[in-house]
Amino acid sequence: MKSMPSEVVIGEIYFPPLLLAVLIAYLATTIFSFVGNKIGMYRYIAVPAIFELSLVVIIVGIISRFWHLV
* Average pLDDT, consecutive stretches of 10 residues, N- to C-terminus, the chain (70 residues): 67 87 95 95 93 96 79
Domains of the chain, by residue range, sit at 8-69
Q: Could you tell me the pTM of the whole model?
A: 0.78
In angstroms, the Cα distances linking 7 to 11, 30, 67 are: 13, 25, 12
pLDDT value, residue 6: 73
End-to-end CA distance of the chain: 14
Q: In whole angstroms, what is the distance from residue 17 CA to residue 8 CA? A: 6
